[in-house]
Copies of this chain bind each other. A is one copy, B any other.
């Protein structure tokens, strides 16, 4: 029923997605990456497209795309690829790991990726091209904007709203009812207890080091 997939990227995030797709028995036929992924048997069985534009040889009806570019702070490649291929008429597959727990009332935009053990509770909405990474918890009544990345083990409490292009770092926490402005970056391990304006970087106190005796 579902179309064969072409995956864009062959790095770490791509490998994690391939594990999920493989468990789900979904058919991946090709990957696009500047270097051939010779190190990983998951990729060596696929056709290699050296340039993203080679994807255009597939008709938009024939395949769905998987955006396997990892999303790091300050980096827009992932959203640019999404927008470019949407303009060409392609559809992005949503990937929901079978170990994720998602309320029936949750709404997921196009191309959303929900990885292992994520939990998304009632009446939350996740807009297009988001990564909800391993073990992330998004509570009830949240509104997550487009092109967000909630990194592994992030926790968003009930009623949190994020605009587009927000990065919530690994293990970060956002308490109830707060909003995070467009393009803001919540540092790894940071706990947010106030609204965050757009284009703001929030990070927590420095660590202390000492030598073991």
Contacts and interface: CB of A to CB of B under 8 A. Distances in A.
Contacts of A202: 207-209
A212 B204 contact: no
Contacts of A53: none
A173 B155 CA distance: 13
Interface residues on A, range: 35 or more
Interface stretch (A1-9, A25-33, A88-96, A137-145): A137-145
B204 A200 contact: no
Nearest to A171: B173
A137 B134 contact: yes
A79 interface: no
B155 A183 contact: no
A200 B207 contact: no
Those 3 A-B pairs whose CB atoms lie nearest each other, nearest first: A189-B191, A171-B173, A15-B122
